[in-house]
Amino acid sequence: LGKDDDSNEEKQSTNEEIQDMVFSEEEILKIEEFFELPEINNADIENSIENED
């Protein structure tokens, strides 16, 4: 870890940039409504895979 001392500053700045790009919950809800994404249930997926046999 000692050889990468200066990389921590770079990580902090990129984290701030990433946070600026992250959608708020309201924005995510609007996007989901726009695409009308269904709630995916893992159990339903497993059942459909089993039923294909």
pLDDT one-digit tens code per residue, 1-11: 566 666 666 67
Q: Residue written as tokens 């046999």?
A: 53
Residue 36: give the domain boundaries.
24-53
Residues whose CB falls within 8 Å of the CB of residue 23, separated by 6 or more in sequence, listed in order: 31
**7 part of a folded domain:** no
Q: Report how many domains make up the chain.
A: 1
Whether the predicted pLDDT of 53 surpasses 60: no
Q: Which is higher by pLDDT, 12 or 34? A: 34
Tell whether 31 is covered by a domain: yes
Has residue 8 been placed in a domain?
Answer: no
pLDDT of residue 43: 72
Residue 24 burial class via C-beta count within 10 angstroms: exposed 0-12, middle 13-18, buried 19 and up: exposed
Judge whether 47 lies within some domain.
yes
pLDDT at 5: 62
Residue 52 lies in a domain: yes
pLDDT tens across 17-39, in order? 766 677 788 888 888 787 776 66
Residue 10, domain member (yes or no): no
